Each structure stands twice: as C-alpha cells, then as structure tokens.
Amino acid sequence: MPSARRRPVSDFALSGTGVRAAETPSRAKVLARLHLGDKAFRHITRGAAILVLVILGGVIVSLIMGSLPALRAFGFDFVTTQSWNPVTEKFGALAPIYGTVVTSLIAMLIAVPVGLMVAFFLTELCPQWLRRPVGIAIELLAGIPSIIYGIWGLFVFVPFLQQHVQPYLIDIFAPFPILSSLFAGPPYGIGMLTAGLILAIMVLPFITSISRDVFEAVPPVLKEAAYGVGCTTWEVFRNVVLPYTRVGVIGGIMLGLGRALGETMAVTFVIGNAHKISASILAPGTTISATIANEFTEAVGDLYTSSLIALGLILFVITFVVLAIARLLLARIERKIG
C-alpha cells in the first residue's frame, strides 16, 4: 500500500495558530459585550437608587414648603396644643399625634405576642396537614383592603365591643385607681381601643409571616440540642429561637409598626374622629392620617391647608424617627453578636 502523505509539523502549527487567531477576536467581542452589559446594569441600578433618594427628597421639600405658613403662624405651639378650630383658624396637632401613638402602641402590644406565638406554632407545633391552610389564611389577611376592615369594624366589631366588651372592662377595672381612668367613660363602641384592635388585626400578617420565615431558618441542631438537655418547648423558644432570630423579628415588628402609624381608612371608620385628648382609651379620638383624610378636601384657606400638610410632615418625622431607632437597635444587636 502506498504510504500516506504526512503533513509537516509546521502545517499543524500554522493551522492551530490560525484557529487561535480566529477565536481571539470573537472572544474579545464577547468579553467587550459582557463588560458593556455589566457597565449598563451598574448605571441603571445606581440611577434607580438615586431616583429613590430624589423622590424622597422631593416629598420632604414639598411637605416643608407646604407646612411653612402653619409653622410660622403657630410656631412650636402647633405641636403642644390640641385646639383644632377651622372657623377661628386655631390649629394644634397634639390630639392627632396622641391618637396616632396610642393606637399604634395598642396594636403592637396585641399583635407582637400573638404574631410570635402563631409563627412559632406554625414552625414547631402545628401538624403538617394544618400548617399550610393556617399560613395561607394569615397571609390573606394582608391582602384585604383597609376600607373593608373599616366597614367590618364599624358594623360588626363596634356593636360587639359596645354591648359586651367595653361595659365589662369598665366594671372590672372600676376599683383600681389608674386602670379606672384608663377604661372610663360610656361604652361608645368606637374609640382608640377599637382602632388599636383593628390595627392589630391588620399588622398581624406582617409580623407573623416574617417571624415564621426567620424561625424556619434556625438550624435544627440547635433546637435538638436544647430538647436533648431537657428544655421545654417554651424554653427552646425563649432561649434558642428568639435570640437566634432577634434581628429578623425586630425588623418584622418595625414593619408592622410603620403600617400601624400610617393606616388611614380603617382607623377613620372606628376611632370617632374627635380632636381631643382623653385619658381613657375607650373615648373617641383621632390620628394624623385620619384627620388628613377627613378634612383635606374641605380645607378652605391657606392656613387650614398648611396645617394639614404640617400634620403630614409630623407623621413623616415620627415614622423616620421610629425607623431610625430600629436601625440603630439592629446595628447594636449585630455588633453585639459579632
């Protein structure tokens, strides 16, 4: 058989060099395209972050500019007085501020322990067949519009409280000096306690959902070790689960508090909308958001409108201070954890 013709080694080298030379421009184009896409993505995300800051700054500037007439007319007395008379144009924000803080505190005092207990029940104690339906039902509470809560509270919850709950509270706490003032007055049904209960129901899904997610992130070995040394379920929850997840739990609580501070329609239906401060949580009151929703369309005159905008500025400041305190608390906890 004739011997096969062999190609010189130099031909192989030249052909390989040609392939590599052909691949080099295409690889450079791919790298250049990826670099261009990465640069565009970086600029887009940076622009989105800057846009958020610009919008926030615009909101702050508009609130300050709109509230200047009221702040110049009343000064610091706008925050320290509760007089609210559109006829004489005498406005004070103390009653709405008081109602906002009190209703939010009532809501958090109820929603936080209930939400944490429900979250722990869903992650540790609930049967598998019941866990998903209960979790979905709680999450559905967050999707109900606030005006539906307000209508339900006014026509169902308020009569129930007026007939059964508030008279019982008035009678049982009457002998105690401080509690008698806290639960005093006729049982109207509406009032700050009712608004706080409605808010507690509204913020419960946020606290429960976030707490459940962080509870599920606890390593099982930590809980098994605690059970192995004889800890009860409550001791495992208090000494293992909560310390491990406290950053996430505090974040969920602050998210619920922010929702409670700014809620409008549901509170407007059931709080009574009275511009006065009462020691009793059964008495009617008002909040900043409810005052703005009720009176902004009827505001006549620059001073009246400016006073309502000043209320919005105060609510913004309260929310900002609460979130700032939460961030400082979380930073301190993270620094302590190391």
Higher-pLDDT residue of 256, 21: 256
Domains of the chain, start order: 75-337 (1.10.3720.10)
Tell me what pLDDT residue 24 has: 65
Q: Sorting pLDDT into bands at 50, 70 and 90, what band is 2?
A: very low
Q: pLDDT (tens digit, 9 = 90+) per residue, 35-58?
A: 888 888 999 999 999 999 999 999
Tell me what pLDDT residue 174 has: 86
Side chain identity at residue 312, one-letter code: G
Tell me what pLDDT residue 25 has: 66
* CA separation for the pair 57, 51 (Å, rounded): 10
**Which of 132, 162, 180 minimizes the C-alpha distance to 284?**
162
Q: pLDDT (tens digit, 9 = 90+) per residue, 119-149?
A: 999 888 888 888 888 888 888 888 888 899 9
Tell me what pLDDT residue 14 has: 46
Can you tell me which residue has the tokens 């060099």? Answer: 17
| Residues counted in the chain | 338
- Provide the mean pLDDT of the chain: 86
Tell me what pLDDT residue 270 has: 93
Tell me what pLDDT residue 175 has: 86
Tell me what pLDDT residue 338 has: 59
pLDDT at 279 over 70: yes
Q: pLDDT (tens digit, 9 = 90+) per residue, 194-227?
A: 999 999 999 999 899 888 988 888 888 988 898 8
Tell me what pLDDT residue 12 has: 44
pLDDT > 70 in the chain, percent: 92
pLDDT at 179 over 80: yes
Q: pLDDT (tens digit, 9 = 90+) per residue, 65-116?
A: 999 999 999 888 899 888 888 888 899 899 999 999 999 999 999 999 999 9
Average pLDDT value for residue range 173-201: 89
pLDDT at 316 over 80: yes
